[in-house]
Chain A
Amino acid sequence: MLRELALHILDIVENSLNAGATLVTIEVIEETRADRLTIRVADNGRGMDTEIAQRVADPFFTTRTTRRVGLGLPFLKQAAEMCNGSLTIDSGQGAGATITATFQHGHIDRMPLGDLPSTILSLVIGNPHADFVYRHVVNDRHFEFDTRPLKAELGEVALSEPSVIAYLKQVLSEG
Protein backbone atom coordinates (compact mmCIF):
# COMPACT_ATOMS: atom_id res chain seq x y z
CA MET A 1 0.00 0.00 0.00
CA LEU A 2 1.08 3.55 -0.54
CA ARG A 3 1.87 5.77 2.42
CA GLU A 4 -0.63 8.54 1.78
CA LEU A 5 -4.08 8.82 0.32
CA ALA A 6 -2.76 11.64 -1.87
CA LEU A 7 -0.54 9.07 -3.62
CA HIS A 8 -3.49 6.74 -4.20
CA ILE A 9 -5.35 9.67 -5.74
CA LEU A 10 -2.38 10.35 -8.03
CA ASP A 11 -2.44 6.71 -9.06
CA ILE A 12 -6.18 6.56 -9.81
CA VAL A 13 -6.07 9.78 -11.81
CA GLU A 14 -3.33 8.24 -13.96
CA ASN A 15 -5.89 5.55 -14.84
CA SER A 16 -8.33 8.26 -15.91
CA LEU A 17 -5.68 9.88 -18.09
CA ASN A 18 -4.78 6.55 -19.66
CA ALA A 19 -8.43 6.17 -20.58
CA GLY A 20 -8.17 9.37 -22.56
CA ALA A 21 -9.86 11.68 -20.08
CA THR A 22 -9.65 15.40 -20.78
CA LEU A 23 -11.42 16.44 -17.60
CA VAL A 24 -10.85 14.83 -14.22
CA THR A 25 -12.70 15.93 -11.11
CA ILE A 26 -11.11 15.05 -7.78
CA GLU A 27 -13.12 15.45 -4.59
CA VAL A 28 -11.91 14.95 -1.05
CA ILE A 29 -14.75 15.27 1.44
CA GLU A 30 -14.12 15.14 5.16
CA GLU A 31 -17.15 14.90 7.42
CA THR A 32 -15.92 14.62 10.99
CA ARG A 33 -19.41 14.55 12.49
CA ALA A 34 -20.36 11.54 10.38
CA ASP A 35 -16.78 10.20 10.85
CA ARG A 36 -16.50 9.71 7.12
CA LEU A 37 -13.86 10.50 4.53
CA THR A 38 -14.81 10.24 0.87
CA ILE A 39 -12.49 10.39 -2.08
CA ARG A 40 -14.01 10.57 -5.52
CA VAL A 41 -12.31 10.70 -8.91
CA ALA A 42 -14.58 11.22 -11.90
CA ASP A 43 -13.39 11.37 -15.48
CA ASN A 44 -14.70 11.69 -19.01
CA GLY A 45 -12.48 8.99 -20.49
CA ARG A 46 -13.53 6.06 -22.61
CA GLY A 47 -15.12 4.20 -19.72
CA MET A 48 -15.45 0.48 -19.05
CA ASP A 49 -18.32 -1.88 -19.67
CA THR A 50 -19.85 -3.65 -16.66
CA GLU A 51 -17.81 -6.79 -17.11
CA ILE A 52 -14.48 -4.97 -17.01
CA ALA A 53 -15.63 -2.66 -14.22
CA GLN A 54 -16.20 -5.68 -12.05
CA ARG A 55 -12.78 -7.08 -12.76
CA VAL A 56 -10.62 -4.02 -12.20
CA ALA A 57 -10.39 -4.61 -8.46
CA ASP A 58 -8.65 -7.90 -9.17
CA PRO A 59 -4.88 -7.44 -8.91
CA PHE A 60 -4.28 -9.97 -11.66
CA PHE A 61 -6.41 -8.07 -14.14
CA THR A 62 -4.92 -5.21 -16.09
CA THR A 63 -5.34 -3.56 -19.44
CA ARG A 64 -1.67 -2.76 -19.76
CA THR A 65 0.63 -4.74 -21.97
CA THR A 66 3.86 -4.14 -20.07
CA ARG A 67 2.91 -6.15 -16.99
CA ARG A 68 0.34 -8.78 -15.99
CA VAL A 69 -0.54 -7.14 -12.69
CA GLY A 70 -2.51 -3.98 -11.97
CA LEU A 71 -2.27 -2.96 -8.37
CA GLY A 72 -3.65 0.57 -8.15
CA LEU A 73 -7.35 -0.13 -7.64
CA PRO A 74 -6.92 -3.33 -5.60
CA PHE A 75 -4.61 -1.39 -3.23
CA LEU A 76 -7.16 1.37 -2.79
CA LYS A 77 -9.98 -1.10 -2.26
CA GLN A 78 -7.99 -2.86 0.44
CA ALA A 79 -7.11 0.44 2.11
CA ALA A 80 -10.78 1.46 2.20
CA GLU A 81 -12.07 -1.87 3.43
CA MET A 82 -9.48 -1.93 6.20
CA CYS A 83 -11.11 1.24 7.51
CA ASN A 84 -14.71 0.11 7.44
CA GLY A 85 -15.09 1.67 4.04
CA SER A 86 -15.63 0.60 0.49
CA LEU A 87 -14.70 1.21 -3.11
CA THR A 88 -17.32 1.63 -5.80
CA ILE A 89 -16.75 1.88 -9.51
CA ASP A 90 -19.32 3.50 -11.73
CA SER A 91 -18.70 3.32 -15.42
CA GLY A 92 -20.16 2.70 -18.81
CA GLN A 93 -18.60 2.01 -22.20
CA GLY A 94 -17.77 5.40 -23.68
CA ALA A 95 -19.20 7.16 -20.64
CA GLY A 96 -16.25 7.89 -18.38
CA ALA A 97 -15.78 6.49 -14.91
CA THR A 98 -16.24 7.53 -11.30
CA ILE A 99 -14.28 5.85 -8.55
CA THR A 100 -15.54 6.48 -5.03
CA ALA A 101 -13.63 5.32 -1.96
CA THR A 102 -15.03 5.85 1.51
CA PHE A 103 -13.22 5.46 4.80
CA GLN A 104 -14.10 5.81 8.44
CA HIS A 105 -12.38 9.14 9.04
CA GLY A 106 -11.11 8.39 12.53
CA HIS A 107 -10.15 4.77 11.99
CA ILE A 108 -6.77 3.95 13.46
CA ASP A 109 -5.59 2.35 10.23
CA ARG A 110 -6.77 5.15 7.98
CA MET A 111 -3.62 6.46 6.33
CA PRO A 112 -3.09 10.23 6.28
CA LEU A 113 -4.32 12.34 3.39
CA GLY A 114 -0.74 13.39 2.85
CA ASP A 115 0.59 16.02 0.51
CA LEU A 116 -2.45 16.82 -1.62
CA PRO A 117 -1.05 20.11 -3.00
CA SER A 118 1.99 18.31 -4.46
CA THR A 119 -0.21 15.64 -5.98
CA ILE A 120 -2.49 18.19 -7.64
CA LEU A 121 0.49 20.31 -8.71
CA SER A 122 2.13 17.24 -10.30
CA LEU A 123 -1.03 16.28 -12.14
CA VAL A 124 -1.85 19.75 -13.41
CA ILE A 125 1.64 20.59 -14.69
CA GLY A 126 2.51 17.10 -15.87
CA ASN A 127 -0.60 16.68 -17.99
CA PRO A 128 -1.09 19.94 -19.85
CA HIS A 129 -3.65 18.46 -22.23
CA ALA A 130 -6.12 17.64 -19.49
CA ASP A 131 -8.16 19.84 -17.20
CA PHE A 132 -8.65 19.21 -13.52
CA VAL A 133 -11.18 20.29 -10.95
CA TYR A 134 -10.10 19.73 -7.37
CA ARG A 135 -12.52 20.15 -4.48
CA HIS A 136 -11.62 19.77 -0.85
CA VAL A 137 -14.46 19.95 1.64
CA VAL A 138 -13.86 19.83 5.38
CA ASN A 139 -17.25 19.86 7.12
CA ASP A 140 -18.60 23.27 6.14
CA ARG A 141 -15.45 24.69 4.60
CA HIS A 142 -15.00 24.39 0.87
CA PHE A 143 -12.02 24.89 -1.48
CA GLU A 144 -12.27 24.54 -5.22
CA PHE A 145 -9.55 24.70 -7.85
CA ASP A 146 -10.36 24.55 -11.55
CA THR A 147 -7.68 24.61 -14.23
CA ARG A 148 -10.01 25.72 -17.02
CA PRO A 149 -10.27 29.44 -16.20
CA LEU A 150 -6.56 29.49 -15.31
CA LYS A 151 -5.54 28.01 -18.63
CA ALA A 152 -7.90 30.30 -20.52
CA GLU A 153 -6.17 33.21 -18.84
CA LEU A 154 -2.63 31.92 -19.49
CA GLY A 155 -3.13 31.21 -23.17
CA GLU A 156 0.05 29.83 -24.66
CA VAL A 157 2.26 30.26 -21.62
CA ALA A 158 3.40 26.81 -20.54
CA LEU A 159 2.43 25.52 -17.12
CA SER A 160 6.00 24.57 -16.35
CA GLU A 161 7.26 28.13 -16.51
CA PRO A 162 8.81 29.11 -13.15
CA SER A 163 6.34 31.85 -12.30
CA VAL A 164 3.35 29.70 -13.11
CA ILE A 165 4.68 26.93 -10.89
CA ALA A 166 5.08 29.39 -8.05
CA TYR A 167 1.55 30.73 -8.54
CA LEU A 168 0.00 27.24 -8.61
CA LYS A 169 1.90 26.17 -5.51
CA GLN A 170 0.63 29.18 -3.61
CA VAL A 171 -3.00 28.75 -4.62
CA LEU A 172 -2.97 25.07 -3.74
CA SER A 173 -1.30 25.37 -0.36
CA GLU A 174 -3.61 28.16 0.69
CA GLY A 175 -6.51 25.88 -0.09
Chain B
Amino acid sequence: MPVKSLEDLKKIKEEALQKRQIRNASARARVTVAMGTCGIAAGARDTMKAVLDAIEKDQIGGVLVTQTGCIGLCEFEPIVDVQVGEEPKVTYGKVSPERARAIVAEHVVGGKPIKEWLITR
Protein backbone atom coordinates (compact mmCIF):
# COMPACT_ATOMS: atom_id res chain seq x y z
CA MET B 1 0.00 0.00 0.00
CA PRO B 2 1.42 3.43 -0.86
CA VAL B 3 2.40 5.70 2.00
CA LYS B 4 0.25 8.49 0.59
CA SER B 5 -3.26 7.36 1.40
CA LEU B 6 -6.64 8.18 -0.08
CA GLU B 7 -7.07 10.60 2.82
CA ASP B 8 -4.29 12.75 1.39
CA LEU B 9 -5.96 12.61 -1.99
CA LYS B 10 -9.24 13.78 -0.49
CA LYS B 11 -7.50 16.83 0.94
CA ILE B 12 -5.85 17.57 -2.39
CA LYS B 13 -9.22 17.35 -4.10
CA GLU B 14 -10.83 19.78 -1.71
CA GLU B 15 -7.99 22.28 -2.03
CA ALA B 16 -8.00 22.03 -5.81
CA LEU B 17 -11.75 22.55 -6.01
CA GLN B 18 -11.54 25.56 -3.73
CA LYS B 19 -8.75 27.10 -5.78
CA ARG B 20 -10.77 26.54 -8.91
CA GLN B 21 -13.78 28.35 -7.53
CA ILE B 22 -11.61 31.31 -6.61
CA ARG B 23 -9.74 31.48 -9.90
CA ASN B 24 -12.48 30.06 -12.14
CA ALA B 25 -9.83 28.47 -14.29
CA SER B 26 -11.33 25.38 -15.86
CA ALA B 27 -9.15 23.94 -18.63
CA ARG B 28 -8.28 27.29 -20.13
CA ALA B 29 -5.34 25.78 -22.00
CA ARG B 30 -4.68 22.44 -23.61
CA VAL B 31 -1.25 20.96 -24.27
CA THR B 32 -0.98 17.76 -26.28
CA VAL B 33 2.25 15.79 -26.62
CA ALA B 34 2.54 13.38 -29.54
CA MET B 35 3.55 9.96 -28.25
CA GLY B 36 4.02 7.69 -31.27
CA THR B 37 7.05 5.43 -31.56
CA CYS B 38 8.95 8.18 -33.39
CA GLY B 39 8.05 10.65 -30.66
CA ILE B 40 9.08 8.29 -27.89
CA ALA B 41 12.38 7.59 -29.62
CA ALA B 42 12.97 11.34 -29.95
CA GLY B 43 12.38 11.89 -26.24
CA ALA B 44 8.68 12.85 -26.05
CA ARG B 45 8.27 11.30 -22.63
CA ASP B 46 10.91 13.63 -21.18
CA THR B 47 9.23 16.54 -22.97
CA MET B 48 5.91 15.65 -21.37
CA LYS B 49 7.61 15.28 -18.00
CA ALA B 50 9.11 18.76 -18.38
CA VAL B 51 5.63 20.19 -19.03
CA LEU B 52 4.22 18.43 -15.96
CA ASP B 53 7.18 19.49 -13.81
CA ALA B 54 6.71 23.12 -14.86
CA ILE B 55 3.01 22.96 -14.00
CA GLU B 56 3.77 21.40 -10.64
CA LYS B 57 6.63 23.69 -9.70
CA ASP B 58 4.93 26.94 -10.68
CA GLN B 59 1.50 25.79 -9.50
CA ILE B 60 -0.14 26.46 -12.87
CA GLY B 61 -3.76 25.46 -12.73
CA GLY B 62 -6.30 24.99 -15.51
CA VAL B 63 -4.01 23.33 -18.04
CA LEU B 64 -5.10 20.04 -19.52
CA VAL B 65 -2.14 17.91 -20.61
CA THR B 66 -2.87 14.95 -22.87
CA GLN B 67 -1.15 12.58 -25.29
CA THR B 68 -1.88 11.53 -28.80
CA GLY B 69 -0.43 9.01 -31.24
CA CYS B 70 1.89 9.56 -34.18
CA ILE B 71 0.86 12.56 -36.27
CA GLY B 72 2.93 11.59 -39.31
CA LEU B 73 5.51 14.41 -39.05
CA CYS B 74 8.16 12.15 -37.59
CA GLU B 75 11.13 14.33 -38.58
CA PHE B 76 9.85 17.07 -36.26
CA GLU B 77 9.35 14.97 -33.15
CA PRO B 78 8.92 15.64 -30.25
CA ILE B 79 5.76 17.51 -31.28
CA VAL B 80 3.57 19.52 -28.91
CA ASP B 81 0.23 21.13 -29.72
CA VAL B 82 -0.84 24.14 -27.68
CA GLN B 83 -4.26 25.69 -27.53
CA VAL B 84 -4.82 28.64 -25.23
CA GLY B 85 -8.30 29.98 -24.56
CA GLU B 86 -10.18 30.84 -27.75
CA GLU B 87 -7.13 30.89 -30.02
CA PRO B 88 -6.60 28.27 -32.70
CA LYS B 89 -4.34 25.36 -31.89
CA VAL B 90 -0.69 25.69 -32.90
CA THR B 91 1.98 23.03 -33.30
CA TYR B 92 5.56 23.17 -32.05
CA GLY B 93 8.27 20.92 -33.44
CA LYS B 94 11.52 19.57 -32.01
CA VAL B 95 10.38 20.32 -28.48
CA SER B 96 13.14 19.41 -26.07
CA PRO B 97 12.52 19.56 -22.30
CA GLU B 98 14.12 23.05 -22.24
CA ARG B 99 11.90 24.27 -25.08
CA ALA B 100 8.90 22.75 -23.32
CA ARG B 101 9.62 24.81 -20.21
CA ALA B 102 9.92 27.98 -22.31
CA ILE B 103 6.67 27.22 -24.13
CA VAL B 104 4.79 26.72 -20.87
CA ALA B 105 6.16 29.95 -19.41
CA GLU B 106 5.83 32.19 -22.47
CA HIS B 107 2.88 30.78 -24.36
CA VAL B 108 0.67 28.82 -21.97
CA VAL B 109 1.07 31.26 -19.09
CA GLY B 110 2.23 34.42 -20.88
CA GLY B 111 -0.06 34.07 -23.90
CA LYS B 112 2.70 34.71 -26.47
CA PRO B 113 3.49 31.87 -28.87
CA ILE B 114 7.17 31.31 -29.69
CA LYS B 115 6.96 31.71 -33.44
CA GLU B 116 10.43 30.39 -34.33
CA TRP B 117 9.54 26.92 -33.06
CA LEU B 118 6.14 26.57 -34.72
CA ILE B 119 5.55 24.19 -37.59
CA THR B 120 2.53 24.14 -39.84
CA ARG B 121 0.69 20.98 -40.58
**Residues of A participating in the B interface, judged by any CB pair closer than 8 Å:** 2, 7, 10-11, 14, 17-18, 64, 66-67, 70-72, 75, 115, 118-119, 121-123, 125-128, 145, 149-150, 153-158, 160-167, 169-171, 174-175
Q: Is B48 an interface residue (CB 8 A)?
A: yes
A126 engages B48 (CB within 8 Å)? yes
A122 engages B72 (CB within 8 Å)? no
Contacts A126-B65, A161-B16 given; indicate if A67 touches B74 (C-beta within 8 A).
Answer: yes
B16 engages A11 (CB within 8 Å)? no
B12 engages A167 (CB within 8 Å)? yes
How many Å from the CB of A43 to the closest CB on chain B?
14
Q: Is B105 an interface residue (CB 8 A)?
A: no
Q: Is B27 an interface residue (CB 8 A)?
A: yes
How many Å from the CB of B107 to the closest CB on chain A?
16
B48 engages A122 (CB within 8 Å)? yes
Contacts A158-B27, A163-B12 given; indicate if A171 touches B4 (C-beta within 8 A).
Answer: yes
State the majority secondary structure of interface residues on A: helix
CA distance A167 to B9 in the complex (A): 8
Contacts A121-B49, A126-B48, A160-B52 given; indicate if A10 touches B16 (C-beta within 8 A).
Answer: no
Near A by CB (< 8 A), chain B positions 50-68 give: 52, 55-61, 63-67
Residue in B8, B15, B41 with the greatest tally of chain A CB atoms within 10 Å: B41
Residues of A within 8 A of B6 (CB): 149-150, 153
How many Å from the CB of A22 to the closest CB on chain B?
15
B40 engages A18 (CB within 8 Å)? no
CA distance A14 to B109 in the complex (A): 29
How many Å from the CB of B50 to the closest CB on chain A?
10
Residues of B within 8 A of A115 (CB): 45
Residues of B within 8 A of A158 (CB): 27, 64
Q: Is B90 an interface residue (CB 8 A)?
A: no
A150 engages B35 (CB within 8 Å)? no
A122 engages B67 (CB within 8 Å)? yes
B67 engages A127 (CB within 8 Å)? yes
A165 engages B56 (CB within 8 Å)? yes
B56 engages A162 (CB within 8 Å)? yes
CA distance A145 to B16 in the complex (A): 22
Q: Is B112 an interface residue (CB 8 A)?
A: no
CA distance A35 to B48 in the complex (A): 33
A2-B41, A14-B40, A75-B37 known; 7 new pairs, CB 8 Å cut-off, are A66-B71, A126-B48, A126-B66, A127-B67, A160-B55, A162-B56, A174-B2
Residues of B within 8 A of A154 (CB): 9, 12-13
